[in-house]
Structure formats: structure tokens, C-alpha cells
């Protein structure tokens, strides 16, 4: 018997991605996902084996796209600070484009959902390791002064990524003060704003102050 079209896999994952931020793990039922994807509910189990396996595949697919780009930016012969800046930009873009999903993963993990907790445990060390390796390389080349790696990482995430989560969340619930609304995208969320914060953050690290 021929296997159903692989397009069903992607349709289910796309439907799950659109529903997950609002519903979370608890509300992401097989019936609702299949209905949104326009396929028979049995196809969730056929393609993924179980509801939890589907949830894991949904989260992992988004992460792997980001991690592949991050790994690509971190390699090569370019200047290490340029590679670090490119890697940070890749992470920041991922957060910007997937903020509702990321917020839901954190909420689910804090709420005790095993799928979200397992996802974070398995994947958080991966991008952390790539960025720390770049910072270690920069330090070895004398481009960054000796500083605790976790302190550096926290500073970079606070400077580059935290504004996306804070301002992006406020924008999503219409909590940005009206006088600032017209400038939010240009000054906080745009690629130009990301690159500016990355430049400032790396200059701050390099100064050793």
C-alpha cells in the first residue's frame, strides 16, 4: 500500500505551528490539528506515531531551521567577530519571527509539560554551545578580554534578544504607548535595529569595561 503523500506531514506541522502559540501542548489536540490541516485525524498517528511525538516534531522542525543557519554562520574563514555577529543576528531573527511560539514553549515548560521541558533540555545547550565557542575563539585571538563565558552570553542575550521578547510581546497585546508605536519596528524589531544592538554589544564586550 503506497504511503500517503508527504505533503500531509508538512500540512499537519504547519497547522500545529499556527495553533500551538494560542493553545499550548494541552490544547493542541489531534482533532484540532487535523481539522486545520484538512486531513483525517488518523494521519497524525500514521505519520508521527503519537500526539506527543507530533508535538516534539513540531517544535524541533522550527529549531532545526534556526540551528542550521546558526551553524553555517559560525563556520568558515571569516573574521571571528563577523561570524559571532552573524550568528547573533540569526538567533535574533529566529526569536523575532517565532516569539509567540517561544513564549508558549517557556510557559508550557514552566507549567510542567514534559514535551516542552524535554525540548528545552535537549536544544538550549546546542545554540549556547555555538555562541560560546565563538566567544572562546575570539578570546583566544585576543579579540575579547578574559571574562566568564556565561556572563558574556547573558549580556549579549540581554542586549540583543531581550528587547524582541519584551517589545514584541507588548506590541502583540497593544501595550506599546501610542507615541512609540510608529517607531517600534524601525528602532527595535528591524534588521537594522538588530545589527545596531549587536554592534554596540560586541563593542561593549571588547572594551572589557
Give pLDDT, residue 6.
Answer: 65
pLDDT tens-digit profile, the chain (209 residues): 345 556 899 999 999 999 999 999 999 999 999 999 999 999 999 999 999 999 999 999 989 988 988 888 788 888 999 999 999 999 999 999 999 999 999 999 999 999 999 999 999 999 999 999 999 999 999 999 988 888 989 999 999 999 999 998 898 888 988 888 889 999 999 999 999 999 999 999 998 76
Dihedral angle sign, alpha carbons of residues 28, 32, 34, 38: negative
Same domain, 34 and 124: no
Same domain for 26 and 122, yes or no, is no
Residues 79 and 33 in one domain: no
User: How many domains does one find in the chain?
Assistant: 2
d(CA 121, CA 131): 17
93 and 2: one domain? no
User: For residues 23 and 12, what is the distance between their CA atoms, to the nearest angstrom?
Assistant: 15
Question: What is the SS3 assignment for 143?
Answer: coil
Under the phi-then-psi rule, with left for phi > 0, alpha for psi from -120 to 50, and beta for the rest, what region is 177?
beta
What is the pLDDT at residue 168?
87
How long a stretch of residues is the chain?
209
Domain that holds residue 85: 60-207
| Residue 54 covered by a domain | no
Q: For residue 5, what pLDDT is reported?
A: 59
User: Which has the closest alpha carbon to 57: 69, 68, 45?
Assistant: 45
Return d(Cα 209, Cα 206) in angstroms, integer. 8
pTM: 0.89
Asked if the structure places residue 55 within a domain, the reply is no
DSSP state letters, 21-69: HHHHHHH--HHHHHHHHTS-THHHHHHHSSHHHHHHHHHHHHHHHHHHH
User: Are 1 and 31 members of one domain?
Assistant: yes
Domain match, 161 and 137 both: yes
Are 17 and 36 contacting, i.e. CB atoms less than 8 angstroms apart?
no
DSSP H helices, the chain, are 7-27, 30-37, 42-48, 51-74, 80-97, 99-110, 114-140, 149-156, 162-172, 178-181, 184, 191-207
Of the candidates 132, 105, 104, the one whose C-alpha atom is nearest the C-alpha of residue 121 is 105
For residue 77, the 8-state DSSP code is S
In a shared domain, residues 34 and 66: no
Amino acid at each position: 500500500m503506497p504511503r500517503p503523500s508527504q505533503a500531509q506531514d508538512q500540512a499537519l506541522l504547519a497547522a500545529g505551528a499556527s495553533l500551538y502559540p494560542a493553545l499550548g501542548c494541552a490544547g493542541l489536540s489531534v482533532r484540532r490539528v487535523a481539522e486545520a490541516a484538512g486531513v483525517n485525524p488518523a494521519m497524525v498517528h500514521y505519520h508521527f506515531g503519537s500526539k506527543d511525538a507530533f508535538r516534539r516534531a513540531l517544535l524541533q522542525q522550527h529549531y532545526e531551521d534556526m540551528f542550521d543557519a546558526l551553524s553555517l554562520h559560525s563556520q568558515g574563514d571569516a573574521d571571528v567577530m563577523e561570524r559571532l555577529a552573524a550568528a547573533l543576528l540569526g538567533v535574533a531573527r529566529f526569536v523575532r519571527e517565532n516569539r509567540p511560539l517561544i513564549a508558549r514553549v517557556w510557559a508550557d515548560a514552566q507549567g510542567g509539560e514534559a514535551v516542552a521541558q524535554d525540548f528545552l533540555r535537549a536544544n538550549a545547550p546546542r545554540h549556547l554551545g555555538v555562541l560560546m565557542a565563538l566567544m572562546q575563539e575570539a578570546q583566544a585571538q585576543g579579540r575579547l578580554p578574559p571574562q566568564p563565558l556565561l556572563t558574556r552570553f547573558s549580556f549579549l542575550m540581554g542586549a540583543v534578544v531581550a528587547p524582541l521578547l519584551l517589545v514584541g510581546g507588548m506590541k502583540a497585546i497593544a501595550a506599546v504607548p501610542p507615541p512609540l508605536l510608529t517607531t517600534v519596528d524601525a528602532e527595535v524589531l528591524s534588521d537594522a535595529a538588530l545589527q545596531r544592538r549587536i554592534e554596540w554589544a560586541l563593542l561593549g564586550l571588547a572594551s572589557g569595561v
